[in-house]
């Protein structure tokens, strides 16, 4: 098991990498092989994506796997790479904040994504206050554990197309500002945004903003000027590799 001292150092290193305008790229990985691939390519930290992990073990995204399923994979990753690891814990798998934090730390992870869609309850959207309370509970549990776990608070307003288009950005900003006040370290308005929306999000939100990127087509240099502080790939790295693998295999059919 990784010592608290080492976990504390890794968490601090992960947090330090979040610099608006000079974003950290956290390749989204799903197993020991993909994690080694990313570290060997020179990346200083990684995120473990729930969607690609669930695909890799034959289960459905949106909490079709259990928290223990996810932790087993995280432990395999942290056993082979020596960089800070953040983990997408979806909406929390119905677990307490204490269980989520202790499970992640025991597996060697020092960061998390927490989203506001509750998959175990019919996919309802948490209220902004409820989501902020969960963020606060995660922060308190991490404080109690003695490690500043990096909390990336995610909202699904954009991917759900929740409510009216006209005020969705306003509502997302209000929701994520509340999560920031509760103890988040970065904010993830998940979705593909045009430059105007992304610039507004980074201007008006009080913490580094996580953008999602298409690794095969997006320009890596385009995010910094928009004020982004963190970039991840969601399921798109795995999808790009799957497309290439299908091309290779197709030659042999």
- Domain limits, the chain: 4-244
Distance, in Å, from the CA atom of 123 to the CA atom of 37, rounded to the nearest integer, reads 34
**Cα distance between residue 118 and residue 129, in whole Å:** 14
CATH 3.20.20.60 fits 4-244, yes or no: yes
| Cβ-count burial 11-32 (b if 16+ within 10 Å, e if not) | beebbebbebeebbbbbbbbbb
Q: What pLDDT does residue 189 have? A: 98
pTM greater than 0.95: yes
Farthest CA pair distance, the chain: 56
Closest C-alpha to 47, from 209, 241, 212, 206:
212
* Residue 151 to residue 48: CA distance in whole angstroms: 14
**The predicted structure's pLDDT at residue 1:** 76
Positive or negative: CA dihedral 222, 224, 228, 234: positive
Distances (CA, A) of 37 to 28, 100, 174, 218: 11, 27, 38, 20
Stretches in the chain below the pLDDT threshold 50:
none
Helix H segments across 79-228? 97-106, 128-145, 157-160, 168-182, 195-204
Q: Which long-range contacts (CB under 8 A, 24 or more apart) does 244-248 make?
A: none
- Residue (of 154, 146, 20, 180) closest to 87 by Cα position: 154
Q: Are 202 and 209 in contact (CB under 8 A)?
A: yes
Q: Nearest 5°: phi and psi at 91?
A: -100, 10
Tokens of 145: 């554990």
What is the distance between the alpha carbons of residues 202 and 210, in angstroms, rounded to a whole number? 9
Place of tokens 């305008």: 21
């Amino acid at each position: 098991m990784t010592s608290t001292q080492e976990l504390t150092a890794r968490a601090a290193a992960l947090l330090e990498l979040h610099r608006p305008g000079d974003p950290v790229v956290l390749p989204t990985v799903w197993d020991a092989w993909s994690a080694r691939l990313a570290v060997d390519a020179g990346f200083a930290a990684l995120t473990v994506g729930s969607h690609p992990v669930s695909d890799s073990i034959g289960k459905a995204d949106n909490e079709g796997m259990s928290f223990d399923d996810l932790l087993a994979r995280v432990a395999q990753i942290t056993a082979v790479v020596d960089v800070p690891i953040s983990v997408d814990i979806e909406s929390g798998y119905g677990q307490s904040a204490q269980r989520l934090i202790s499970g992640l730390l025991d597996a060697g992870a020092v960061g998390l994504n927490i989203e506001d869609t509750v998959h175990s309850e019919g996919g309802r959207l948490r209220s902004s206050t409820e989501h902020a309370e969960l963020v606060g509970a995660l922060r308190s549990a991490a404080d109690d554990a003695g490690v500043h776990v990096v909390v990336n608070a995610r909202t699904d307003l954009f991917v759900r197309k929740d409510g009216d288009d006209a005020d969705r950005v306003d509502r997302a900003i209000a929701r994520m500002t509340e999560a920031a006040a509760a103890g988040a370290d970065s904010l993830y308005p998940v979705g593909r945004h045009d430059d105007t929306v992304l610039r507004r999000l980074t201007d008006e939100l009080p913490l580094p903003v996580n953008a999602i990127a298409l690794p095969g087509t997006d320009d890596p240099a385009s995010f910094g000027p928009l004020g982004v502080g963190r970039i991840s790939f969601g399921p798109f790295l795995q999808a790009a590799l799957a497309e290439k693998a299908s091309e290779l295999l197709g030659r042999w059919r």
